[in-house]
């Protein structure tokens, strides 16, 4: 290869600013005095008040998981997959369209052996009634006659409640 190429090299050189060059696009005609001014009258609108907290909320299922100590992250991850599958099947058995994990409302790191996971319904219509029944069933899972059994190696106890999330 030739190291002495003439083109493609960058070198330092002095900067020579160009002289100022005015441009007049008016062709020596006088400009109208209203140029740049608003010719339409401005109407100030009245104050509009709205309540942000009155926004429509969708019910969601929040699970508070009490974890056993000394469990590996792999076992916990597999149990969370199994828990999602069980809770999703429970939603489907109540004629719902399934549950979707909501990462923005979940704990990413366990705190004092607790993790909160939140699932929002894929079908919001009638979700409040379905989720109320699911909460009752999960909270009664310790009973022997419960339809759902939440037996996982890393989860000691599971408490369910219904929360409202922004739609």
Which residues share a beta bridge with 99?
A: 121
Q: If you average pLDDT over each of 5-9, 106-110, 154-158, which comes out highest?
A: 154-158
Range of 82's domain?
A: 57-166
pLDDT 10s digits, 10-46: 777 888 888 888 777 767 677 777 777 766 777 888 8
Q: Is residue 48 part of a domain?
A: no
Q: Which residue has the tokens 């109540």?
A: 94
Q: Is residue 12 part of a domain?
A: no
pLDDT 10s digits, 71-86: 888 998 899 899 999 9
Count of domains observed in the chain: 1
Q: Give residue 147's pLDDT.
A: 46
What pTM does this model have? Answer: 0.62
Q: Which residue has the tokens 């994990």?
A: 101
Q: Is residue 21 part of a domain?
A: no
């Amino acid at each position: 290869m030739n190291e002495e190429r003439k083109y493609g090299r960058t070198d330092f050189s002095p900067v020579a600013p160009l002289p100022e060059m005015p441009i007049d696009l008016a062709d020596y005609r006088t400009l109208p005095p209203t140029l740049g001014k608003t010719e339409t009258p401005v109407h100030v609108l009245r104050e509009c008040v709205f309540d942000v907290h009155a926004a429509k909320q969708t019910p969601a299922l929040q699970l508070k998981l009490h974890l056993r100590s000394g469990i590996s992250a792999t076992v916990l991850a597999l149990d969370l997959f199994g828990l999602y599958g069980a809770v999703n099947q429970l939603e489907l058995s109540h004629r719902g369209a399934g549950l979707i994990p909501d990462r923005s409302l979940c704990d990413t790191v366990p705190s004092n052996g607790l993790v909160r996971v939140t699932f929002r319904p894929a079908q919001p219509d009638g979700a409040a009634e379905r989720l109320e029944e699911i909460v009752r069933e999960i909270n009664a899972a310790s009973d022997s006659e419960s339809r759902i059994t939440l037996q996982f190696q890393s989860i000691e106890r599971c408490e369910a409640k219904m929360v409202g999330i922004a739609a």
